[in-house]
Amino acid sequence: MSTKQHAHWSSRLTFILAATGSAVGLGNIWKFPYMVGDSGGAAFVLIYLLCIGLVGLPILVAEWLVGRRGQKNPANSMADLAKSAGASRGWMIVGISGILGAFLILSFYSVIGGWSLYYTLSSVTGAFSGQDADGISALFSGMLASPGLLLVGHSVFMLLVIGIVARGVTKGLEGAVRSLMPALGVLLVVLVGYGMTTGYFGEALSFMFNPDFGKVDGGVVLAAMGQAFFTLSLGMGIMMAYGSYLNEEINLLKTARTVIILDTLVALVSGLAIFPIVFANGLDLSSGPGLIFVTLPLAFGNMGGGVILSLMFFLLLTFAALTSAISLLEPVVEFVEERTPLSRFASTLVAGAATWALGIAALLAFNVWSDLLIFGLNIFDLLDTVTSKFLLPLTGLLAIVFVAWVLDREGVRRELGLGETGAKVWTVISRFIAPIGVIAVFVSSL
């Protein structure tokens, strides 16, 4: 067993940037704004904020608390805390499940990161300029059909992630988020500024923020709850790993509130950056992932200044993918580093290489292995389904149950700085509301 000294964040600000960077990913740039527009505008936002407060925030705080108390990787932290509480060390399976989830997600997330890199390069070379719909579709289809092209993108993206994580908490993770998060913010602001010049910014505002309670039904509530859960990187071991680098003086509840506000703000602003372009060009909002990789490039290729705009957009997408990817690799690296004699650098290489190798299977699902189906799913879709529908909700559910029902209630109250009333509210939310919310999302997704 390794006895290496555990690293710590240099400040609360860098931790907030890192946690927000983990939460802000590809889903924020496209999925959340679209869900807002399609599910009642401001009505959906209100439901989402309620769900994130009742489900997302308590689970986020619970995972940080486990990490900070344990000061080890998620599996060891769960095992040690369970032992000290007089419970079974079998609770460590929760930590292992989170680490496994992060590993599996990064394997296919990196493939999409490679797409983003490829489209960034295509923007520089003007590949979208003057193209019609067939030409843009052929570009996307050609990329997916080429295992060599996908392998290069996946490999370069993973090398970037490995290079950042290998440098450690202070030089690697902190250094990356200190530069990537402000850059992401600047790119978003510039794209919103462009949106204001299209003549369709008012329509975008109305689309996102005009409440339509007639669209709200049980499905919308469940969608909001699911988005609240997944957007915060819960159930992936990430927040336990990040929490293990926290000092005692950090107020977990206040910090969680800040991260949630920033994450939601980025998602909403992303909508204000994307939707004016969509409306100005009469594009199809319901085109799913194709909105990013087919529909928007078509618009960029046929508008003034499209080369610059497409470059900025795909840089934004790449930065968002990178901040999430480094957080996905971190719990795996922390586990290898603490369970083996390997150094930080060697642990990152081992974890990164294993993730990269599984990612090759994921990218081959689009071409060479497209006919290889498991339970009716190709490898890429199987990895996505297993993690999003099973591992993540179950891990998040067990994490909040562990903190609410197994750990000493008085100790948790003191650590969260809660008074008598606050402790009662926390108990109700963490013991009943949050678990029931996760179970509802889990059952509905099945």
pLDDT in tens, 56-68: 999 999 999 999 9
What is this structure's pTM?
A: 0.92
What pLDDT does residue 229 have? 77
Residue in 42, 389, 44, 50 with CA at minimum distance from that of residue 230: 389
Residue 386 CA: distances (Å) to CA of 16, 97, 380, 381: 29, 12, 10, 9
Residue in 363, 379, 395, 388 with CA at minimum distance from that of residue 444: 388
What pLDDT does residue 2 have? 47
What pLDDT does residue 289 have? 63
What pLDDT does residue 1 have? 45
Amino acid in the structure at residue 64 = W
Interhelix angle 306-339/74-84, nearest 10 degrees = 50
Mind listing the pLDDT tens digit for each residue in 293-329? 887 898 888 888 889 999 999 998 999 999 999 999 9
Phi, psi angles (nearest 5°) of residue 233: 60, 40
Interhelix angle 306-339/12-23, nearest 10 degrees = 110
**Residue 37, exposed/middle/buried by CB under 10 A (0-12, 13-18, 19+)?**
buried
What is the pLDDT confidence band of residue 6, given thresholds at 50, 70 and 90?
confident
Residue 247 CA: distances (Å) to CA of 7, 64, 167: 10, 11, 20
| Other beta carbons within 10 Å of 93 | 16
169 touches 301 (CB < 8 A): no
Residue in 72, 63, 68, 70 with CA at minimum distance from that of residue 101: 63
**Residue 69, exposed/middle/buried by CB under 10 A (0-12, 13-18, 19+)?**
buried
Q: In whole angstroms, give the CA distance from residue 426 to residue 348.
A: 37
Residue in 148, 113, 114, 143 with CA at minimum distance from that of residue 128: 143
Residue 166 in tokens: 């290998």
What pLDDT does residue 288 have? 61
Amino acid in the structure at residue 435 = P
Q: Residue 367 above 70 pLDDT? A: yes
